[in-house]
Amino acid sequence: GDKVKQSPSALSLQEGTNSALRCNFSIAATTVQWFLQNPRGSLINLFYLVPGTKENGRLKSTFNSKESYSTLHIRDAQLEDSGTYFCAPSGSWQLIFGSGTQLTVMP
């Protein structure tokens, strides 16, 4: 099965609301990265995490290495937050991507 599972696969939010994305994985990850892929395909680095929590503006992410999961919280969603969010835990020489969460923020 998939080594990295993201949920939900798709999500629609009203502007100004909050949400959480989840990433469960079955590899021994030492770090986790979260990316936003914009419509042009560019991958924007959101977070690079060792076990613990980081916050950046309206985004907050946690990596729990003992239970092998990570979360990304979006507060006060804006239209420009729309896109596909990828979680990618890393172990050894591989960064393994989940299948992504497609987020649409509506006015």
Partner 1 sequence: AQTIHQWPVAEIKAVGSPLSLGCTIKGKSSPNLYWYWQATGGTLQQLFYSITVGQVESVVQLNLSASRPKDDQFILSTEKLLLSHSGFYLCAWRTANSDYTFGSGTRLLVI
Is residue 35 within 8 Å of residue 89, measured between CB atoms?
no
Q: Which is nearer to partner 1, 42 or 104 (CB)?
A: 42
* Region 83-102 residues binding partner 1, contact defined as CB under 8 A: 86, 88, 90, 93-100
Cα dihedral 53, 48, 93, 20 in deg (nearest 10)? 60
Residues whose CB falls within 8 Å of the CB of residue 1, separated by 6 or more in sequence, listed in order: 26
43 is a site residue for partner 1 (CB under 8 A) = yes
Figure out which of the listed residues 1, 14, 40, 57 binds partner 1, where binding follows CB under 8 A: 40
Residues forming the site for partner 1 (CB under 8 A): 31, 33, 35, 40-43, 45, 48, 86, 88, 90, 93-100
